[in-house]
Every structure is written in structure tokens, then in C-alpha cells.
Structure 1
Amino acid sequence: MRADKYKKRKKKRTWLKAVGIILLLLLIGGGVFAYNIYHSMRAAVDTMHKPVKSKNSRAGELNFGKEQPFSVLLLGVDQRKGDVGRSDTMIVMTVNPNKESVEMLSIPRDTRVEIVGRGTQDKINAAYAYGGVKMSMDTVQNFLDIPIDYYIKVNMEGFSEIVDALGGVTVNNNLDFSYGGYHFPKGQIDLNGKKAINYVRMRKQDPRGDFGREERQRAVIQGIIDKGASFSSLTHFSDVFQALGKNIETNLSFDDMVSIQKNYRNARKNIEKFQLQGQGQMINKIYYFVVPESERQKAHDRLKTHLEL
């Protein structure tokens, strides 16, 4: 029963994988910005920029000019007022411009690991609650035994602000349902931020379960991409950048992003997603997702090879 319960909830926030792809496109996508758009973007990135002193295990300094592969830890944090929150979504992305590819490893939030800085075994999402971004980066780096160069932290509730900043999105809905106080009829529907969040959260009423929810997530993400690429969205660019600045933190600087755009843009041609394999287990009356050493090693080897280390 515990394993079944885990399967039902392990994708609770898998929509953030798609958000991760959008963030990656933001970092390595092309595009020519008008003068005022450029400066609005720079101001937003300056607001997002939050350096962190993690224990990076990389030998030598990373140089974007030399097109070296690099890694990013994506943290999806459900932050509430007065609560630090936990990183309920953790994705490690490795970007390789030589192979023109991106690897995305999803780490289940209940994964049992050593929390670096505390010397205890706990769920990996507890690292953020104990020590924020730094402890999360150090713990993931220690667990996978690869350097974690950068991080991107997304406030879950900020997703709705980004949708609203774009003026809403349009999707083609194939299931009639109500959720979160909203009704979603079949056919083409318009979603504002709050509707979009509830649209992608519903699972139990869908006979396809998580598969149906993932399809809705992709539809909303596609709506965001379509709206963002349209000429009409240019009228919303200030709101969009403001929403990004309020809800995203990263140690990537504006200059870093410019270098990535210049040297890594083709990496988005091939995005491969995979997840750690393991099983649920009760330890001292606490549920954990236990990853066998062989599976951890497999993930390590794959990412290390992609980083060309």
C-alpha cells in the first residue's frame, strides 16, 4: 500500500519538469530583443540573481566561452508565508553543447540520502528546509557524485503569476471536469493563472490518472510558449519579466545567460528525461524512497559522461 501511495503522489508536482524546460529555453534560447525589452530583462535577471557558496566539486573553473558542459539543479519550492518550505521537486539538468543535448534527472522528494551539513540520513527534500539552496546543492552533489554548478529555484505559486503576466493562455481540453472551484468544459478554453494551476493539479477525476495530468501540463506549457512567441506578448514583456524576477532565484548572472545563449543554444535540440529507480520502504516508522547503489551509480555514470568529466 505504501508503494502504491508513493506512485500516486510521486508526480504531484511533475509539471515543474515542464517549467524546467521553459527556464532552460529562457537561458539558451535565441531571439533579438529591442532596447527596452533588453533592459527590462536585465533588471529582472539582476533581481533573480542570488549567489550561493556551495561546495562545488568541479576541478578548475567553468568557462562558458570554451563551451564546457555544465549542470543546473532545479528546485521547485512550495513557499508559504512564515514557512521555509521544502523542495518538493528536484531536477538535475546537464547541458552539453558538443552533443547538442540536455539530460534531466528527476529525484523523488522522499529519496533517502545523507543530508550534507547535518550528517544524518533523511528525505532529500529536507535539505532545503534545513539549509536552503546551499544544503540542497551540497546534498545532491554528494549523492550523485557530480559537480552541481548552478541552481534555479522556482516558487510554485509564481507559475500562476507568469501565466497572468502573459494575459492568460489557451488550451484544447479533452475532459470535462471541475476542480478547485473552477469548471473546465471540453474544447478550447482560456485560462488565467489560478485556473491554469488548478487545471494541471487535478488527477483523481481523470481516468488516465497522472498520464492525463501530464498531458494537461504539456498543454499549458505549450500555451505559454505560443503566447510568449506571439507578437501580442511583447505588450506584456514588462509584466512577464517582473513575474520571473519575483518568483525565480538563480546564481546565474545576466552575463552568464548571455554566454549560454551564445554558445549553448543548440543544446535544446535533444532533451532526455529520466528518473531514479527504487522502492518505497518504512524505516523507523517513516516512509522513504530507497535507491539501490546500482541505480545511483547508473545515474552518476550517465550524468558524468554527459558532463564529459
Structure 2
Amino acid sequence: MITPSITYHEFQGGNDALRNPRSASERERTKRACILTLLTLLVPGGAQIAVGSRGLGRIALAVTVGCWFTALLGLAMYFTMRSVLLGALTQPFVMWAGSILLAGLAIGWFILWLDTLRLIRIGQLPKGFKPILAVVTVALMVLTSGGLAYAGHILNEGRQALAGIFSDGAAMAAEEGRYNFLLIGADAGEGRQGLRPDSIHVVSVNQSSAETIIFSIPRNFQNARFSEDSPMREVYPNGYNCGNECIINFLYTEVHNSYSHLYPEAEDPGVEAMMDAASGTLDLRMHGYVMVDMDGFAELIDAMGGITVESEGWVPYRGRHPETNQWGDRWFEPGTLELDGDDALSFARSRTFSHDYARIQRQQCVQQAMIGQFSPQTLLTRFTELMAAGENLVDTNLPQSQLGSLLDLAAKAQEHEPQRLTLGAPDFGRSGELFSTYPDFDQIHTRVDELIAREGQGDDDNGADDAAEEQPQPDPAPDAESDEAAEAPGTATEPPGPTPEHSDEAVAGDEPDAEPSAEPGEATQPDGSPLTELYLIDAQQRGEIGVLEEAASGNGDCSPAG
């Protein structure tokens, strides 16, 4: 009788299906394959430690533990040292090293999957289970190794995009505990000579509390003062006061055309002059600027997935007819509006049958919606789109070295309701009083100081409300301020009248301002039924301006939703 020889290893592991699947049943082999697959998914290196290839398994397990430790450390730092964490993660070298590390991890995990298939001994599995395991393994390879490789690619793209957007200068120091940034929405549309800022805002943030004040400067603001250290004081020692041509909207182009030599070290002399004008007008030192063209503005909102606002009035814009699909006049209805980039741009820029101050309020509303609806989840899920849209920023001098602390400050700012102040009606008198043509800088500086002093007294106070109550509200008379640059003398040296190229219509590149009507009411159709978009479109074709003004009279009342 012949007795088969039995090795010591077979004797020790003969009944161990995990280590010796030859003697196991088909069910046990299937179970073993599932266990090894789950180990490679959840604890990379675990399958190799359990079955074989222990050298490879120990290395993989050490890397796995290191990755988990790094992730937990990052999570702890996010809640305790978020500024430091974000500062590190936005540095070019760290982002480059991170993309290399992710690529290495992707390759290592792929090798582990291949070795796991070898350890499973797929040829010994039941025939019906083999294709299932193959499909599942390929899917998990794509999910894990492919996901890490894609993350590394995205991180490297982000590094390149940030380098193209932000400057490589030194970090900025706060002034009296505040950061002040000039935010410009610029347009170089058809019929314009050069780029012109249509939306001018200053965002002032408290360095400690992250409370925010948004100052809005009308584009037809005249006699703007320059900061004491501005080279433009040599040209305009008493402010930007040459008359109709010296509304602040024109400053950018004028400096580029005639005075760029006064800013020999500036990459963008026009925006430097705009910062000097905002600084002197508000008596706040500007730390940096962000200038976005209108196309970039729309693309950025699309990259965020759109925004949601609450509008209290009808807002006219140009679009495709809801029934005929023909291009023409349309209206945004009051209520909750979910806006994509193009719609948000139309909503923010509209001033037909309204006035510039309602437009400024809607611009502020859209900005707040963008800030309030931006979140880490948006950044993670739409990183590629946001980076691509960010490259459409016309310019910014914000340093990349400070990007982490600025992101942390922006995240904290979402916890507070910003205060707001417009340098014109209704925050400074009635629209007919032409404050933007004849600004009282002592009043402006007093109000700025009051808003800064009011910080910390409650987020429910928007800052301008109490002061606005002390001022007369806009009257129902024609809105002279929206066309004040064309109708009122700015200084004694001003030409007697505006030329067509310097009218407010040419500045805006839009329709001319219409005279605003009385305070908003419950506007209805003649038969008493509610207004509809189709009714307003027909009324506009019939030239019923009074009906349209009444419908649009409340469209400056807007708030972020969601």
C-alpha cells in the first residue's frame, strides 16, 4: 500500500481554507475570495499579511496606517488650526508633492489588487463566480487606484490654476485689524473704448471676528478723492473733479491711456488708481483687489452650480420668449429664483424701468448669495470647474502665500450677516439730491466709522438700516441720479453738457435709465388678476411704461436664499 507523503506546512494548514484553499469547498473558496477582496479595499496590505507576500503586506500596511494618521491629523487641524492647514495645502510645493504622493499611492494600490488576484487563485473558484469577481475587482480598481490618480491630476491642475490666478508676493498685513479688498466687475463690451468697471464694491473684513462690511460705490460717482500717497493727486489734487468725464467709471481707462507712467511698477495701473480712489473716498487703506470680467462672473456661478435668491419685484432682462423662443424682452418673476451664470448676470445688471440703486442692491444680493452658498462641499465636488472659471479673473494681486488664511477668513465670514452701505440714495439722501455728484466726504467717513464701531452688536443688523431711517427715502420723482453725470454739473470746470460718448448710457453699455415709479405695491392687471410675464411682455410691446415701472419698482429688494 502506498501512503502519500504530507509536508509539515500542509499538516499545519490543511484545514485552514484561508491559507490553503486547495482542500476547501467551493463555498469556502468563494468566501475566502470575498474576504481578501474586502481586506485590500478597506485595509490595503491586509490580504498580503493574512495569506502571503508578507513583506509587501507590511510595507502596504505601514503606508495605510500613515495615510489614516495623516487624514485624522488633517481633520483635527481643520477644527483647531484651519488657517494653518489651508495655508499649507494651498502652497505650490505642497500641492505638487501631494499630486506626486497621490499618483504613487494609486500605483501601489493597483499593485496590491493584482497581487490579491494572484492570492485568490481565481482559477480554483466556481465558474459562475469568476466573472462576478473579475467585474467587482476591476470596478474597485477604478474606484480606488483610479480615484487616487484622478485626485492627483486635479490637485496638479489646481496648483497650475492658482499660480495663474494669484500673485507670488508677500503676505499682506491688516490695517487697524481689518482687510479691505476692492471688488470690480468690469466689462469691455461692444461699443466701448477699453475696459470699464460697471460694479465697484469694497469688502472690509474684521481680521479677528470675520464680520464684513460691503461698501458700494455707484459707477457714476464724481469727485472721488485719492489717498494721500496716490500719484494721481498730482493730476487731481482736489479729487477726480473734471466734470462729466470724471465719473469713477472712467478712471480705469483714463489712467491706462494717459497716466500709466505714474504707476511704473504696477502690472495694472488702472486698477491701482481705482484702489487709490476707493481708499481716499472711504478713508480705508486697500489691501488688494479682484477684478472679474462679466463672462468670468457668469462662468464662476455656473461652476458653483448656480445661486438662489429671493426677489421682491419683477426684473426685466433680454432672453428668449417663453412661448415663441424668439429673442427679446423677458422678466424674472418675484419669489425664489434659481439662477445660472447668464441669468445671474442679467439679474444683477438690469436697470431698465428701475434705477442704479436698485441695481446696486441686486449686485450686493448676488455677491452675498455666492459667498453664502459657497462651501467646502462645493469646492470638493466642483474643483475643476471652479479652477477653470477662476482663470477668467481679469486680475488680482492677492498673494497665494496668504490664500489659506484668506479662505479661513471667508469661511468664518459666512457666519455673519454683512453690513452694507451705498454711497448714494437711499443711504445718503434722496436720489434727486445727487449725493453721488456732490458727495460729502465727512458724512461718508462718519458713516464708515459708525459701521466699523457697530461690529459685534448683532448679526441681524445690516448696518445701513438705522442710518437709512434717518435719511429721507427715495422719492417717486424721476431718478435724476442715475443720469446725473449727464444732467448735473459736477464742478465749476465741467463742460456745459455731456457729449454722447460720455453719457451714462455709453458708460453702462445697456439701456438708458427709466424714471423709477412710486414705492412698490401690489401691481395687478386691469382686471385685477396677478401680473404675469406674458402680460408684461405684451405691455412692453404696447409701450405702457407706467405699468412696467410699477412692476419693477420693488426689484431692488433682494436677499440670498438657501
TM-score w.r.t. the length of structure 1 is 0.64
Deviation string 1:164-189 (CA, Å, 9 cap, x unpaired) is 33455677888888741234786887
Is residue 449 of structure 2 the alignment partner of residue 301 of structure 1? yes
Q: Does 1:193 align with 2:341?
A: yes
For 1:86, give the aligned amino acid. Answer: R
**Which residue, 251, 254, 259 being the options, matches 1:127?**
251
1:70 correspondence with 2:187: no
Partners of 1:257 and 1:99 lie apart in 2 by 18
Distance verdict in 2 for CA 1:301–1:288, change over 3 Å: closer
> What TM-score do the two structures reach when normalised by structure 2?
0.38
Identity of aligned residues (%): 23
1:274 corresponds in structure 2 to: 421
* TM alignment of 1:249-268, pairs within 5 A: 249-262=395-408, 265-268=411-414
| Offset, 1:158 | 1.7
* Conserved 8 A contact 1:97-1:266: no
Classify 1:260/1:175 alpha carbon distance in 2 versus 1 (closer, same or farther; 3 Å): closer
TM superposition shift of 1:254: 1.7
* Distance in 2, Cα, partners of 1:219 & 1:171: 7
Specify the SS of the correspondent of 1:157.
helix
Q: How many residues align?
A: 265
Quick check: 2:178–2:206 contact (8 Å CA) kept in 1? yes
Q: Looking at secondary structure, tell me which structure has more helix per residue.
A: 2
Quick one: structure 1 residues 198 and 263, their matched pair in 2 at CA, closer, same or farther if it must change by over 3 Å? Answer: closer
Cα deviation, residue 101, structure 1: 0.9
Decide whether the 8 Å contact of 2:180 with 2:204 is kept in 1.
yes
From 174, 182, 188, give the equivalent of 1:79.
188
- Using a 3 Å threshold, how does the CA distance of structure 1 residues 300 and 258 change in structure 2: closer, same or farther? same
- Provide, for residues 212-253 of structure 1, a one-character-per-residue CA deviation record: whole Å limited to 9, x for no partner: 995798479748965x54968755421221111113521112
Q: Which is bigger in relative contact order (C-alpha 8 A, separation at least 6)?
A: 1
Work out the CA distance in 2 between the residues paired with 1:102 and 1:177. Answer: 28
Residue ranges of structure 1 left out of the alignment (5+ in a row): 1-27, 53-60
Change (3 A) 1:78 1:216: closer
Q: 1:224-263 counterparts in 2 under 5 A?
A: 226=373, 229=375, 234=380, 236-262=382-408
8 Å contact kept, 2:305–2:340: yes
Equivalent runs, 1:1-309 vs 2, <5 Å: 38-49=155-166, 62-63=172-173, 68-80=177-189, 83-111=193-221, 112-114=223-225, 117=232, 118-119=235-236, 120-121=240-241, 122-131=246-255, 132-166=270-304, 179-182=317-320, 183=322, 191-202=339-350, 204=352, 218=365, 222=369, 226=373, 229=375, 234=380, 236-262=382-408, 265-270=411-416, 271-276=418-423, 277=428, 289-299=437-447, 301-302=449-450
| Residues in 1 aligned to 2:207 and 2:393: alpha-carbon distance in whole angstroms | 28
Contact 2:301–2:370 (CA<8 Å) still a contact in 1? Answer: no
Cα distance, 1:76 vs. partner? 1.6
- Does the CA contact (< 8 Å) of 2:200 and 2:219 recur in 1? yes
Per the alignment, residue 118 of structure 2 pairs with none
**Alpha-carbon displacement from aligned partner over 1:66-105 (angstroms, at most 9, x marks no partner):** 9942211111211237843222222122211324311211
Distance (whole Å) between structure 1 residues aligned to residue 209 and residue 376 of structure 2? 30
Give the stretch that moved more between structures: 95-104 or 229-238: 229-238
Q: Secondary structure of the equivalent of 1:84?
A: coil
Q: In the TM superposition, what whole-angstrom CA distance separates every residue of 1:95-151 from its partner, at most 9, and x where no partner exists?
A: 113243112111122222246523251222222122211111122222333311111
| Distance in 2 (alpha carbons) for counterparts of 1:302 and 1:249 | 32
Gaps of 5+ in 2: 1-82, 91-150, 256-269, 323-330, 456-562
The structure number with the bigger radius of gyration is 2
Query: Which structure features the higher share of strand residues?
Result: 1
Moved more, 294-303 or 106-115: 294-303
Deviation at 1:153, TM superposition (A): 0.9
